[in-house]
A and B are shown apart, each in its own frame.
Chain A
Amino acid sequence: MTRRVLRDLLPVVAVATGFVVAWKLLVVIGGYPTFILPPPEVVASRLVAAWRDGTIEPHVATTLTEILLGFLIGSGLALVTGYALARSRLAERLLSPYLVAAQATPILALAPLIALWFGTGLASKVIICSLIVFFPIAVATMVGVRSVDRQLLEVGRVYRATPLQVLTRLEIPGALPLIFGGIRVGATLAVIGAIIGEWAGGESGLGVLINLARGSLFDTPLLFATLLTIAALGVALYWLILLVEHQLVGERG
């Protein structure tokens, strides 16, 4: 058991170590000053200090709230829309041009407008997160529901499954592996959405902290520490979803 864990962990640790060593070498060989590229140990100690003195924590709380709300709302709407698209050709014909257009419009350009219309509070960030999360999950749901085996749906007919039973017992579980593909993408995009929303105006959040560190404190190590925190947030979210996915989808051969 322990040996297996070791064997699984070893490559992860090796790659992480390699990354840190390469980073340090880059700083040393390139002779970069801290304000351009801080060495890993400086970033690490800044990260610890910023967590200890409470610099980062409130910003993490803000960003996490935005991500979770935006993700929940965006994915909820996406699941419903994706199902409608899969089941109704009319819905697909009517909606898909707008969905694609919305997706093709850079969220970076929309964000300031959304901040203008909905203020710089939580609402605008949640909207931006929802928007960015929506498309991949809606498309994955559509494709997933359409890919559910017709033979299994026929089994449902034999046993006189009601439309709701077909949805909950056959279509959703059948589409789940593909839906989770979209959810994984959506979760990482939600992090980006929150940061973009904060850049469009905000009082707190990791995006705001980036701007503070960069623009008024000139604290490059804090900037890196914030980036690391954001990355960790994204990875944690991704793992959480993998965990849920494993529980719900499991091995299907």
Chain B
Amino acid sequence: MCPEATRSIATKTTQTNRVATPAISAASDALPAGAGQPAAIAVRHCSFGYRDDPPRPALAGVSFEVASGELVAVIGANGTGKSTLLKLIAGLLAPEEGDIAVGGREVRGPDLGVGFVFQEPRLLPWRSSLENVALPLELAGWSRNAREARARDLLRLVGAPDVERLRPHQLSGGTRQRTAIARALALEPAVLLLDEPFSALDALTRERFNVALQSIWRATGTTILLVTHSISEAIFLADRVVVLAGRPGRIVAQVPIRLGRPRTLVDLDASIVSDASAAIRAALEREDLA
């Protein structure tokens, strides 16, 4: 009678299952995911180049995995193929070599189980916040009432409950990005890809957003792969930091962040943070010298 409702319940069930898995185990050792369960994201020997003139190689032989419920940050300088990596995982680009699997299935194109938050909010300027958040649900055929209710919940979840009726140009940069995150979460994706989502925000707002993102992650149990420029952001959020370097980009280090959860901004002063930070910097600089 009401497919959306059935579907909603079904996804909720899977979500509960995911939350039940030990996703928030502090500072997991980050290498391959839990035995028996396929990795949420598995990238194997991936290479990709843009066919511009002259051709622009972007990634060379990249391999790594992200366990279900894990939060992994990808860090690297400009041009090391960070965004390309996310687009490959999202199925927006196809690798030239190697293969990619999400939830154990090979990626052959965009998958509704994968949410994507771009560097820019990319909201439709003619729609209100609520309608923007509801877009994926609308495209998936949800009824108006069901999708509006869900979009309202999501806006509350991302901390932007009062902007339902406002259009993007009436929102602050931060609220726009919150709305974009809410939209990415609309279909309860098992995997959420974030491409430098906070790079346009000022430092203070950014810190607040990192705290908010952490609680969203905890609330939804989604596997998150976050691309960032900022070492402190990577350390604050991630269970593990994948360091990309070179042109084309290669993985030069994977640094586990052994910090308890939930983390607070104060935790950023801990010695473990400076150690991790030093390790990441060393990896980046080694590559620069080479």
Q: Which residues of A contact B (CB under 8 A)?
A: 149, 151-152, 154-162, 165, 169-170, 173-174, 176, 249-253
Contact = CB atoms under 8 A, between A and B. Distances in A.
B284 to A, nearest CB: 29
B167 A250 contact: yes
B278 interface: no
A127 B140 CA distance: 42
Contacts of A161: 139
Nearest to A162: B139
Nearest to A173: B126
Contact of B126 (A155, A156, A157, A250): A250
Given A151-B118, A253-B169, 15 more contacts: A155-B118, A155-B122, A155-B124, A155-B135, A157-B92, A158-B110, A159-B187, A162-B139, A169-B138, A169-B139, A173-B127, A176-B126, A249-B126, A251-B169, A253-B168
Interface string B108-122: 011110101010101
What interface size band does chain B fall in? 20 to 34
24 contacts: A149-B122, A151-B118, A151-B120, A154-B92, A155-B118, A156-B139, A157-B110, A158-B92, A158-B114, A158-B116, A159-B110, A159-B140, A160-B109, A160-B111, A160-B139, A170-B124, A249-B126, A251-B167, A251-B169, A252-B125, A252-B126, A252-B169, A253-B125, A253-B170
A250 B127 CA distance: 10
B256 interface: no
Across the A-B interface, give the 6 residue pairs with the lowest CB-CB distance, nearest first. Answer: A253-B169, A252-B125, A159-B136, A158-B116, A173-B126, A159-B139
Interface of B: 90, 92, 109-112, 114, 116, 118, 120, 122, 124-127, 135-136, 138-140, 167-170, 187
Given A159-B110, A160-B112, A152 B170 contact: no
A171 B118 CA distance: 20
A94 to B, nearest CB: 28
Contacts of B136: 159
A250 B126 CA distance: 7
Contacts of A149: 122
Contacts of A162: 139
Contact of A165 (B110, B139, B187): B139
B136 to A, nearest CB: 4
Q: Identify which of A155, A173, A252, A253 gathers the most chain B CB atoms within 10 Å of its CB.
A: A155
A162 B112 CA distance: 13
Contacts of B126: 173-174, 176, 249-250, 252
B135 A159 contact: yes
Q: Which applies to chain B's interface (DSSP): helix, strand, loop or mixed?
A: loop
Contacts of A169: 124, 135, 138-139
B122 A152 contact: yes
A176 B125 CA distance: 12
Contacts of B127: 173
Nearest to A158: B116
Contacts of A152: 122, 124
A152 B140 CA distance: 17
A149 B125 CA distance: 11
Contacts of A249: 126
B89 to A, nearest CB: 12
Contacts of B122: 149, 151-152, 154-155
A199 to B, nearest CB: 41
B139 A252 contact: no
Nearest to B126: A173
Nearest to B112: A160
A154 B124 CA distance: 12
Nearest to B180: A155
Contacts of B111: 160
A165 B187 CA distance: 17
A160 B140 CA distance: 8
B213 to A, nearest CB: 19
A158 B90 contact: yes
B124 A173 contact: yes
Contacts of B109: 160
A64 B110 CA distance: 50
Q: Identify which of B110, B111, B127, B169 gathers the most chain A CB atoms within 10 Å of its CB.
A: B110
Nearest to B140: A159
Given A155-B122, A158-B90, A252 B167 contact: yes
A151 B125 CA distance: 12
B124 A253 contact: no
B257 to A, nearest CB: 28
Nearest to A250: B126
Contacts of B169: 251-253
A59 B135 CA distance: 48
A252 B170 CA distance: 9
B167 A160 contact: no
Nearest to B125: A252
Contacts of A173: 124, 126-127
